[in-house]
Structure 1
Amino acid sequence: MSEKTTVSDLMVKGAFRSLIESETADEFCRAMALNVFQPLGVLATYLARLDSDNRISMLGSFGYSQQRVTNTGRPSIWEPMAITDTIRSGKVTIFESWDLYVDRYPDKAHLASPGEAFLCLPLRFRGSVAGGFGVTFDRALTGVNLDLGLWETLALAGEVFFAYRWSQEMERNPIPLSDYGEDVKFAFGSLSTREKDVLAFVAQGMTNAQIARKLSYSESTIKQDTIHIFKLLGVSSRDEAAKAWEFLRRSQN
């Protein structure tokens, strides 16, 4: 068995060990760094999710200081950076050296250091790209590091983690209320009077059927209203919509 095959086998085994042992995104990132990528000179790992408003939220990380991770904020998938390119394309993104990374993202040079290399894997949930897993290395990538079949196999571990831990992680790490900010205020101003009423009733915990009876509209009309409201506010659940409404209510006081 070649050295390349041996390393690949160990990495795949380590990935699924990480999957089994991890309960949170931070634990998964830590386990992937220590069980999988350590022989290749890993500096950091991070796990990101794609939100309903086409922005990225960091679910967890290992190796980066918290400040370095939070400095990325909630970038739109249209903002050029390695993880956004991966999520947009649904393909593995590799920068074998720091020079290649800086050539692609000159305004992101402050997020990296000379000598580093980068890998991002797309993660799918229910058939669609739902996020990404990123790795920063302390050396250039060569040989086994560029085995795309290996990276795609490792991505499966992240996808299974998503599938089993997705709802729990969303409950542990919802989008902070402060992240809504001016975007939600602007979006709220674009809602019709009826949609604002619907949002208020959603925040009270009412179902679409109950709201329809309350406002004397069909349930299908209220359903379409809620879809439009969620899209404009960038939320993906009634709980998040309620939090956005609470933020708006507080900001008006």
Structure 2
Amino acid sequence: MTDLTIPIDLEAELKELARRHRAASTVGMSVLNLIGGQAENLLEKLPDSAKDRLEATTIKALDVALRAALKSRGVVPDQKSWLNTALTTAMGAAGGAGGLPSALAELPVTTTVLFRAIAGVAADHGFDPSEPDIAKECLTVFAAAGPLAEDDGADMAFLAARVSLVGSTVHGVIAKIAPRLSYVLGQKLATQAVPVIGAAAGAATNYAYTSYYQQMAHVHFGLLRLERSSGHPRALLIDMLREELSISTKSALIR
């Protein structure tokens, strides 16, 4: 327990961020149930040629997503969360229907929509995604563990790891998060490559990924907003969030 007395409004904010974090952590279960597999075994379903190209493909997808998403904000307004989810779900079904080749072709488009959704969440919290520092914060959300991760602690680690990206250029941030994200996107491609149920798996996977990254974006930018408005250091806010998650988990087990 921390010795700091938490103001009621800050406590309420942390409870809401904890709720979103829990919601993000559960969206991938339907995908794993659908394909009847475990997350750590998914990449084995990909051919070596695809695995070898994953990191380069991810860097390219992020670069395209960054440029396209920020340009489009001046033309197309930010969409509601449900609409972003519906759009990527449809794209996932189309990508999965054709197996791995169509899933690879769909990847940059879905990544762009995901980045655009994250930028929209940043704007909801009062930040301007067109500012380079906020664009980097948007990219940092992609360093989260992913919806198919089985270790909730990895998502807390992503919130704390932001300090390692301070001073990096936008492309420097992309280079640093690409190895982690390539693994996560590799899991996505593997679910879409499952024979027979590729379209269904693609739709379910994109639904999970979009829901996950939007929720984690709310956690990320909610913490950033609290950091700036409360004056409390980020590390302390993360500890408070971790404590809130622990309390809510214990309460759920008691019920």
Higher strand share: 1
Higher helix share: 2
Larger radius of gyration: 1
Q: TM-score higher than 0.5 here?
A: no
Higher relative contact order structure (alpha carbons within 8 Å, sequence separation ≥ 6)? 2
Please give the TM-score of this superposition, normalised by the length of structure 2.
0.28
Please give the TM-score of this superposition, normalised by the length of structure 1.
0.28
